[in-house]
Each structure stands twice: as C-alpha cells, then as structure tokens.
Amino acid sequence: MLAVQNVTRVFSGRAAVDDISFSVDGPAFVGIIGRSGAGKSTFLRMMNRLTDASAGRICVDGRDILALRGRDRRAWQSQCAMIFQQFNLVPRMDVVSNVLHGLLNRRPVLATLFNLWPRADILRALEILDRLGIAEQAPKRAEALSGGQQQRVAIARALMQDPRIILADEPIASLDPMNAQIVMDTLKRINVEDGRMVIANLHTLDTARRYCDRVIGMRDGRIVFDGTPAQLSTGVARDIYGADHSFNEAATSTAIPADTAADAAYAARLMA
C-alpha cells in the first residue's frame, strides 16, 4: 500500500530526512519516534505534500505521490489528512463549522466563504462529532473547548475528508494524560474500525508501545529502528534518542495516575 523509497529532504545543505525507506502493507498504526530535530515532522509534511522532497519516491498503491502536481496534488492532500499538535482550528468559529472545513477543497469557494454548507454535509459533520463523543459541543466556539476536545474536533475535521491515511504530528504533545489517552483511543478506533492507516509522530515511548502495530525510530534524519512495539526495548530506545545510561523512560511517560481511574473508564467506554 505504502512504499517510501530513498526519500531525502535537504534544508540549506543539511539533510533533515536522509535517504529513508520503508513500506507498509495494510492499514497499520505506525508510530514514528525520535528526539527533537530527528526529521519526523519533515517526513509527515512530505507525505502530505506540504513540503517537497529533495529526492526519492513515496508510492501509494504504486503511484508516486511526490510527483503529483496541481489538482492531483490537492486530491492527494484530501486523501491524507493531517492533525497537528496545536489543533489548528479556527478559534472563534463554531465546532461544526470547523469540522465542515475538512471539505474546503471540495465545495465551491464562495459558498464556503459564507459558511453555506449543504444539509447533507452538516448532518455528516454532526454524525462524526457524535461518533467521537462531542456532539453536544457542536454549536460552541472552538476556543471554548478543552485541548482534548479541540483535538477531537481536529480529528473530526480530518474524517470529514474521508481520508485513506491520517497523519498526526505529535497529536498529544499539548494534552494532559487523560485527554492524551482519549485522543489516542480515538485515533486507534478510526484505524481499526475504518481501516484507515494512521502514521503518528509520538514523543512518548509508552504511547508508541501501547497503540502502534509498528514503530519507526529516527535519528538525525535516518531510520535507526523499524520493528514491533515488543522489539522496542529500553536499550533500543536509548540508541534512538542518542541517550546514555541515565536515560529514563519514565520521564517520557504519559501514563495515567491510578487516582484518575474514572477518567480511564470513560475512555474505555468510548472505545467500546
């Protein structure tokens, strides 16, 4: 399904992503880990065609998406939705309108400018919000929601595009542990129930181990680990992060403290 072949991106003579290759056969949940500056965001941005590659190919079902131009490039961008650490919602706009903005490229510009959406689109947006457990937030301004709720709105906006692949760039880096779990559970549900591939840049090892089918470790633009969560030992993690023996996994943990069991139960209900 996805074949990344010798992809490189150079900025000012320095490779941010340096000749990386890997392939993914089915709609897996892939986590990319590595310390700051390893090249994780640059890779996701190349996948989404927000950043051009300097060399290489990214083939999806045999088609090199790096070669797409104009309308084909925009069509690809709507098939591969992006979720960001800072949610990137329009803060003063209501939630349902934010979700509808997932359709921006597919509806007449003038209509979207005046926030005039077909009834079927509005109903679909509400259905998606309901699925993600935040339908009651639909009329509120996005800025009135908690971080976890805002990230779920961003996921709903992504789903509105009906994408094949969801790219998530540090989706939980700004969230507290409980909201981080709800957002990760939501992404996992979409992966499992809808069969959409998820590729997520993650900054915590326990999250990568818990949610991913496959983990790719990057260091200085290169892939230095590609395996299952079970293979991601502390020693391997130390290599990926370029840390010495003082490297402490717990410091990167987003585990939920025991006294928030009720919140965890709520997250579990969402998964049911």
Ligand X SMILES: Nc1ncnc2c1ncn2[C@@H]1O[C@H](COP(=O)(O)OP(=O)(O)OP(=O)(O)O)[C@@H](O)[C@H]1O
Residues in contact with ligand X by CB under 6 A are: 11, 16, 34, 36-42
Please identify, using beta-carbon distances, which residue of 52 and 244 lies nearer to ligand X: 52
Least distance (Å) from ligand X to the CB of residue 14?
A: 7
The whole-angstrom separation of Cα 117 and Cα 99 is: 11
Please identify, using beta-carbon distances, which residue of 32 and 178 lies nearer to ligand X: 32
Please identify, using beta-carbon distances, which residue of 29 and 241 lies nearer to ligand X: 241
CB 197 within 8 A of CB 1: yes
What are the beta bridge partners of residue 22?
A: 4
* The residue to which tokens 């909201």 are assigned: 179
Please identify, using beta-carbon distances, which residue of 40 and 196 lies nearer to ligand X: 40
Supply 40's token pair.
């994780």
Please identify, using beta-carbon distances, which residue of 42 and 181 lies nearer to ligand X: 42
Least distance (Å) from ligand X to the CB of residue 205?
A: 14
Least distance (Å) from ligand X to the CB of residue 46?
A: 10
Please identify, using beta-carbon distances, which residue of 47 and 138 lies nearer to ligand X: 47
The whole-angstrom separation of Cα 160 and Cα 124 is: 8
- Compute φ and ψ for 82, nearest 5 degrees: -115, 140
- Residue 205 half-sphere exposure toward CB, CA atoms < 13 A: 22
Least distance (Å) from ligand X to the CB of residue 41?
A: 3
Least distance (Å) from ligand X to the CB of residue 221?
A: 7
- 3-state class (DSSP) for residue 127: helix
The whole-angstrom separation of Cα 242 and Cα 114 is: 51
* The residue to which tokens 């709105």 are assigned: 153
Q: What single string gives the DSSP state of each residue in 158-192?
A: HHHT--SEEEEESTTTTS-HHHHHHHHHHHHHHHH
Least distance (Å) from ligand X to the CB of residue 40?
A: 4
